[in-house]
Structure 1
């Protein structure tokens, strides 16, 4: 039996040949697709998938399954006319349109932030809590604290959360909680830090621009390290080390909207996906082609929702040690996921390397 990646590559080559998926420029698909022949689908299957519109292809080596995501739902009757097995691997056809980043924020399902006791019995602001640029009525999540070689501490989140999709001014104040979450009879919002830098993503079609380094990450310099803790809410401390994401891996996160959730990495996007990115404050809207994306399903409810962007995704090994895996980039509909929503995450290690920073663990943890 072929691998799930080979089966997914075979289906993708057929989809590209039939204009169901756009080809990447200058044979770039050879970077993502295994060298296998294109699958053979019937004319009926072609008509169905053209009508339902293929959005992406995800593969899972653990279950030997390929997921062909569509924009519009494939009916039960139509599913009967679509291939169930390709190269010995199962094929499913869930509904799951293109993800969106930077869209409207949902109300938090509990508290949008967590305060913990610091070493001097003063309140410290936890990772997994609400933040936003000081000039924008939005909210995302402080994923982790990180340290540069000079010892200075920064907050890590998404470019689209505090970086304004490449447009935030350097030294722009970052507020905690985020402006969207400011409310009466709760903590007074404070300047947790100042925007420092992003790993910029580029817009445009592959070939016109290089999409290989696209990611979604930003740093802001922490105003006062005594005000923050590396704790992820009341759940656990930020791990000191990172590992690569893997399909089948059990994961968890603490986020501004849905709090502490658990889930499983159920697949890897075969090819770079096109996500809709926007920053209302900066009047920016574009399609970003994002490589190296993994899909997470929650265990019994959505793993994340709007406002959880930037959350640090963590796994636990057999010895009970936690490791950082990735950060949440976005989410979207998924007819096979609990709660009908999937989460898209990006690996954390390339982000840490890109910023030349290390994870902060044990900071103001009592």
Structure 2
């Protein structure tokens, strides 16, 4: 489903105003929804933590009906324990001593043709942070950690934390970005004999190309916690809260131009499309090896909805290529 650019532009300011309301954590546009049933018509989708405690909202915004969606969006991080001697997408990674998530893919850095690991910034941490696969070893103060499972250090990242110029909204200053992504050097992994593949585990195979996502597109992913699951893109979120890090006083972090995925029951046997630890998963168009997104958000203890960034934007912002061959 094509969403007109002029509609997205018209929604930008109302989305900021609505998201500033207590209890609202994001606003987008996509399929109209009632009781988890989707209709082939556009609506403004307002995401709330608790539908029973939602603020009073208008019936229409920018000429479209409004639908209320209960979806407490959080970055997805949690531990796992499987080791991959051949590194590829879908493997669990961990930054010491903070967070765990998913290695989305081994990518090619365009500036020097070196290989690196792609994941989310909130999983890998800031530039210079060391990342391990599958888990970080104990690091008592004054001791030398075991680096056998180290991949290397974060080379660069892009997220709301890197936004320098805030947008004033309702008495606050918002810092927003379209991606939550980072790349990690693989030099230490190579030193310990690991090999690399641009494939994704569980039989997904190598990434063939990157294409832009679209509403109504069916997608699938392989996360380190939930394994292979699938769903459908049902909306494009103009703005959602990014509940990570510590913004400066009077500021809030947000993600802009994100895509909402709703689970496909036939591809999610336990009714869950993602949970904590799936952040960083590469999202593919169903039936293809075309990468369309980088998953970063959802319901931490497991839920039917997830949020991803546009993979074409991730590649552009981090100057990497997912589809590579040597």
Instruction: Tell whether 2:55 aligns with 1:92.
Output: no
Contact 1:253 1:314 in 2 (8 A): yes
* TM superposition score normalised by structure 2: 0.73
**Higher mean displacement: 352-361 or 202-211:** 202-211
Name the residue aligned to 1:349: 312
CA distance in 2, matches of 1:58, 1:263: 18
Contact 1:237 1:362 in 2 (8 A): no
CA distance in 2, matches of 1:298, 1:11: 27
1:141 equivalent among 82, 102, 120: 102
Name the residue aligned to 1:248: 216
CA distance in 2, matches of 1:220, 1:10: 36
Structure 1 residue runs of 5 or longer lacking an equivalent are 23-49, 116-122, 182-187, 280-285, 334-338
Cα separation, partners in 2 of 1:190 and 1:250, compared to 1, 3 Å: same
Shift of 1:72: 2.5
1:359 equivalent among 316, 322, 325: 322
Deviation sequence 1:35-86 (CA, Å, 0-9, x none): xxxxxxxxxxxxxxx7x833322321543233222332238xx99x987777
CA distance in 1, matches of 2:185, 2:217: 32
* TM superposition score normalised by structure 1: 0.66
Name the residue aligned to 2:278: 308
CA RMSD, 1 decimal: 3.8
Name the residue aligned to 1:299: 264
2:160 equivalent among 188, 195, 201: 201
Structure 2 residue runs of 5 or longer lacking an equivalent are 32-39, 139-146, 266-270
Contact 2:242 2:254 in 1 (8 A): yes
Task: Tell me the SS of whatever aligns to 2:202.
Answer: coil
Name the residue aligned to 1:119: none
Shift of 1:330: 1.2
Contact 2:121 2:182 in 1 (8 A): yes
Which of 1 and 2 has greater Rg? 1
CA distance in 2, matches of 1:68, 1:350: 24
CA distance in 1, matches of 2:118, 2:11: 38
